[in-house]
């Protein structure tokens, strides 16, 4: 019986030059997050303001990495701006051909098990989408709090303001960075869900009795 991961890996893999760049940028952003949190924690523990200020350096580098990731994505989609309809139609044809190929093979599997997999996958999609809905307002609210702290609205002591800025900046970047892989994973899982729905429809059609017309010849 196929599994979710085996179905996902059965899709034809398209090698793209930007995949390597995206992977390195993601690793760079992760290193910046770890370094920023380490400097912030060390500054708070040893009460060194210089270490807390130093945490802003990897935080700024994270923003640079995210802008680079955005540039790669926009550059890959430059054809979209020239002819959006043709770009979307080509992508739809490609995805549908892949789904049809995989669904035809899945249709030979047990129908009940496919229906259970579809139900489980749809439930997980809802859960992941709700998590993404939480991260979106968080990534917008945190910068507003950072601006209020910088303007001195809360009238906090200098050291507390510095710590608050570093924490809010880390939360902002963390929310944005977390949203990218979640959204990317959701796109692939939606493709998997569509394929399962297609496979179930094919399996149900194969189970339907087919009537043949019997020709009767007069004696």
Ordered by start, the domain boundaries in the chain are 16-76, 82-206
pLDDT computed for residue 70 by the predictor: 75
Q: At 218, list the tokens.
A: 């007069």
The whole-number pLDDT of residue 182 equals 81
Q: Tokens 């989609």 correspond to what residue?
A: 77
pLDDT value of residue 217? 52
Q: What is the mean pLDDT of each run of 10 residues along the chain (219 residues)?
A: 83 56 76 84 79 84 80 66 76 85 89 90 87 74 71 71 74 73 84 90 80 51
Burial 93-104 (b: 16+ CB within 10 A, else e): eeeeebbeebbe
Kindly report the number of other CB atoms within 10 A of residue 66's CB atom.
Answer: 17
Q: CA-CA distance, 158 to 191, in Å (whole number)?
A: 50
The pLDDT of residue 200: 92
- Tell me, what's the pLDDT at 180? 77
Q: Which pLDDT score, from 0 to 100, does residue 16 have?
A: 47
In a 3-state reduction of DSSP, which class is residue 24?
A: helix
Helix (H, G, I), strand (E, B) or coil at 208: coil
Nearest one of 185, 180, 184 to 30, comparing CA atoms: 180
pTM value surpassing 0.75 = no
The answer to whether the Cα torsion of 101, 104, 110, 111 is positive or negative is positive
Residue 17 pLDDT = 44
Distance CA 59, CA 98 (A): 40
Residue of 80, 81, 100, 99 lying closest to 90 (CA atoms): 80
pLDDT at 219: 45
Instruction: Please list, in sequence order, all residues whose beta carbon lies within 8 angstroms of the beta carbon of residue 21, skipping any fewer than 6 positions away.
Output: 72
């Amino acid at each position: 019986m196929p599994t979710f991961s085996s179905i996902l890996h059965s899709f034809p893999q398209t090698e793209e030059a930007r995949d390597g760049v995206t992977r390195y940028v993601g690793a760079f952003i992760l290193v910046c997050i770890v370094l920023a949190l380490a400097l912030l924690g060390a500054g708070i523990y040893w009460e060194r303001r210089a270490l807390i200020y130093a945490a802003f350096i990897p935080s700024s580098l994270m923003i640079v990495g995210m802008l680079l990731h955005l540039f790669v994505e926009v550059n890959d989609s430059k054809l979209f701006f020239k002819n959006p309809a043709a770009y979307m139609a080509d992508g739809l044809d490609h995805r549908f051909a892949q789904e049809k190929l995989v669904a035809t093979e899945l249709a030979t599997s047990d129908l009940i098990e496919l229906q259970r997999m579809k139900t489980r996958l749809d439930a997980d999609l809802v859960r992941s989408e709700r998590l993404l809905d939480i991260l979106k307002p968080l990534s917008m609210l945190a910068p507003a709090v950072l601006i209020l702290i910088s303007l001195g609205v809360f009238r906090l002591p200098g050291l507390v303001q510095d710590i608050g800025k570093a924490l809010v900046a880390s939360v902002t970047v963390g929310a944005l960075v977390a949203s990218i892989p979640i959204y990317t994973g959701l796109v692939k899982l939606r493709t998997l869900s569509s394929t399962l729905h297609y496979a179930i429809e094919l399996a149900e059609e194969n189970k339907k009795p087919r009537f043949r017309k019997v020709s009767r010849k007069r004696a």
